[in-house]
């Protein structure tokens, strides 16, 4: 079940809210109601995936129980717990990718496992790893199995994040006032959900049709149309992802639960560093807290070069986290190199240029990087990039031969959508920032 579908909006969400706020009449624990509802929500996607997430929940809870009960070898237990999470993720998400590359390199013919991706496995794996590390650091002490189950499977943030922390979420579930229907939170949550719905259905949906056609006819692209294709996907991707997170945020707020901000107008960023402080914020925090910082602490002597190499490695992992394909590895490498250049510039050059120049450079860097994200075949990535920088077509005044551009110019709805996308992303406040001060936590 997806947030923008009729069953969710008109049946599941209203029924869930009713059961949650009127559970006292049913004599059922509210947390148990949310667990049952979230399990049902997850099962509707594919019930055969349910054992995977339940197995992950109980394995991680067992690791937690062992971690708090022993005084020696805690680090080994933590490593084992993290490794178990990584193995589960590798088996279901990356096994065939690994087999494919082994077959290519060693000319073998190992059969693929053909395992489907369990819904949200990347997100609940990262949340579980962060939970175990927080337990190891004594930031989490007492956890009931019911609370941990709810923390992982709470349906608004389950599918596409944000990646949440136990100590941020559980106090909200334990706060008695949050069990009372809050009209203000409900209205604001509904507004955020509707904003996300418009982003997803109108903006992302309209742009995706144009993008899909372009990728089906890559060889027919010209200079202008290749840039249009890339820009349309950049806006489509932003509205799709941020729209879904808005719907998650709005849904959670109706239950009086405030999820952390995950987007802060990232296309306004004035550097690559700034972009990753605004885009998928909870992922950036996870990468920084649980991968980058431990790598830096592992060095006997830290210097600028080592920190840059750590950044590059972290973003290679961030790239492959998005999916089992080399285009995602290239996406991560591209941003890793961008961050390295950004840090070198800040340390050794740091010219006092206009903020508009910095924004223009950053926006185009991000736009180019999303070509790697959207285009799975490496050869097609190269074709698009070549056409984007082939100005000979423009100099020859052959614009009327660009059929893809003509189809764009003849579609008034698409033109309006594209222009509004640019205006909203660059000049408007984001939905979370617009409503943040009015949320009654």
Average the pLDDT over each of 154-158, 230-234, 289-293, 432-436 and give the range with the smallest value.
432-436
Residue 432, pLDDT > 80, answer no
Task: Verify that 233 and 321 share a domain, yes or no.
Answer: yes
Task: Verify that 70 and 160 share a domain, yes or no.
Answer: yes
Place of tokens 């764009």: 408
Reported as a single tens digit per residue, the pLDDT across 24-56 is: 777 788 999 999 999 999 998 888 889 999 999
Assigned domain for 61 exists: yes
Task: Verify that 79 and 31 share a domain, yes or no.
Answer: yes
Instruction: State how far the alpha carbon of 112 is from the alpha carbons of 102, 115, 323, 327, 387, in Å.
Output: 11, 8, 17, 20, 35
Task: Verify that 173 and 193 share a domain, yes or no.
Answer: no
Task: Verify that 236 and 270 share a domain, yes or no.
Answer: yes
**Averaged pLDDT, 261-270:** 94
Reported as a single tens digit per residue, the pLDDT across 404-419 is: 888 888 899 999 999 9
* Domain residue limits at 78: 21-179
Task: Verify that 396 and 262 share a domain, yes or no.
Answer: yes
Residues sharing a CB contact under 8 Å with residue 202, sequence separation 6 or more, in sequence order:
417
Residue 440, pLDDT > 70, answer no
Confidence class for position 439, pLDDT limits 50, 70, 90: low
Instruction: State how far the alpha carbon of 394 is from the alpha carbons of 290, 352, 400, in Å.
Output: 48, 33, 10
CA–CA separation, 51 and 30 (whole Å): 23
Assigned domain for 7 exists: no
Assigned domain for 56 exists: yes
Average predicted confidence (pLDDT) for the chain: 91
- Number of domains present in the structure of the chain: 2
Confidence class for position 224, pLDDT limits 50, 70, 90: confident
Final residue in a domain of this structure, among 179, 195, 229: 179
The confidence score (pLDDT) of residue 435 equals: 62
Reported as a single tens digit per residue, the pLDDT across 283-303 is: 999 999 999 999 999 998 989
Contact 92, 48 (CB under 8 A): no
Task: Verify that 227 and 283 share a domain, yes or no.
Answer: yes
CA–CA separation, 135 and 100 (whole Å): 37
The confidence score (pLDDT) of residue 441 equals: 44
**Averaged pLDDT, 296-316:** 93
Please tell me the pTM assigned to this model.
0.93
Largest CA distance in the chain: 76
Residue 383, pLDDT > 70, answer yes
**Averaged pLDDT, 302-325:** 94
Instruction: Give the number of other Cβ atoms within 10 Å of residue 22's Cβ.
Output: 12
Assigned domain for 4 exists: no
DSSP code at position 72: S
The confidence score (pLDDT) of residue 406 equals: 85
Assigned domain for 400 exists: yes
Percent of the chain with pLDDT over 90: 73
CA–CA separation, 373 and 329 (whole Å): 9
Task: Verify that 329 and 409 share a domain, yes or no.
Answer: yes
Assigned domain for 12 exists: no
Final residue in a domain of this structure, among 127, 159, 179: 179
The residues that are catalytic are: 322
Task: Verify that 279 and 372 share a domain, yes or no.
Answer: yes
Residue 351, pLDDT > 90, answer no
Task: Verify that 163 and 299 share a domain, yes or no.
Answer: no
Task: Verify that 56 and 194 share a domain, yes or no.
Answer: no
Contact 173, 204 (CB under 8 A): no
Assigned domain for 238 exists: yes
The confidence score (pLDDT) of residue 161 equals: 77
**Averaged pLDDT, 226-251:** 95
Assigned domain for 385 exists: yes
DSSP code at position 110: P
Helix segments in 389-430, DSSP class H: 392-395, 403-409, 412-427
Reported as a single tens digit per residue, the pLDDT across 168-217 is: 999 999 888 888 899 999 999 999 999 999 999 999 999 999 999 999 98
């Amino acid at each position: 079940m997806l947030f923008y579908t009729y069953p969710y909006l008109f049946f599941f969400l209203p029924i869930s809210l009713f059961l949650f706020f009127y559970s006292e009449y049913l004599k059922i624990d509210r947390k148990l109601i949310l667990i049952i509802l979230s399990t049902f929500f997850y099962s509707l996607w594919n019930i055969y995936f349910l054992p995977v997430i339940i197995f992950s929940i109980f394995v991680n809870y067992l690791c937690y129980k062992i971690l708090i009960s022993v005084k020696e070898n805690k680090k080994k237990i933590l490593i084992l717990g993290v490794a178990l999470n990584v193995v589960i993720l590798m088996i279901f998400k990356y096994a065939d990718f690994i087999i494919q590359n082994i077959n290519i390199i060693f000319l073998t013919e190992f059969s693929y496992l053909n395992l489907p991706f369990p819904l949200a496995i990347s997100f609940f794996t990262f949340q579980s790893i962060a939970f175990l590390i927080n337990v190891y650091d004594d930031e989490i002490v007492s956890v009931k199995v019911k609370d941990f189950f709810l923390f992982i499977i709470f349906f608004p943030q389950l599918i596409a994040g944000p990646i949440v922390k136990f100590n941020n979420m559980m106090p909200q579930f334990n706060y008695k006032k949050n069990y009372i229907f809050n009209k203000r939170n409900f209205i604001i949550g509904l507004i955020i959900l509707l904003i996300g719905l418009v982003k997803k259905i109108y903006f992302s949906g309209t742009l995706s049709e144009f993008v899909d056609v372009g990728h089906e006819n890559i060889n027919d692209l010209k200079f202008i149309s290749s840039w249009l294709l890339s820009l349309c996907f950049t806006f489509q991707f932003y509205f799709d992802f941020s729209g879904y997170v808005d719907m998650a945020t709005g849904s959670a707020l109706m239950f009086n639960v405030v999820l952390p901000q995950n987007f802060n107008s990232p296309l306004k960023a004035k550097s690559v560093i700034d972009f990753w402080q605004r885009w998928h914020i909870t992922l950036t925090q996870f990468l920084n807290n649980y991968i980058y910082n431990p790598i830096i602490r592992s060095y006997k002597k830290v210097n600028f070069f080592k920190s840059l190499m750590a950044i590059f490695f972290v973003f290679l992992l961030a790239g492959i986290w998005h999916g089992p394909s080399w285009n995602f590895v290239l996406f991560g490498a591209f941003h890793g190199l961008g961050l390295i250049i950004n840090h070198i510039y800040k340390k050794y050059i740091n010219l006092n240029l206009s903020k508009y120049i910095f924004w223009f450079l950053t926006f185009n860097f991000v736009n180019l990087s999303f070509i790697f994200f959207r285009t799975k075949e490496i050869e097609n990535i190269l074709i698009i990039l070549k056409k984007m920088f082939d100005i000979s077509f423009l100099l020859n005044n052959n614009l009327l031969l660009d059929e893809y551009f003509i189809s764009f110019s003849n579609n008034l709805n698409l033109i309006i959508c594209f222009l509004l996308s640019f205006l909203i992303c660059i000049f408007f406040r984001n939905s979370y920032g617009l409503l943040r001060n009015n949320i009654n936590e």
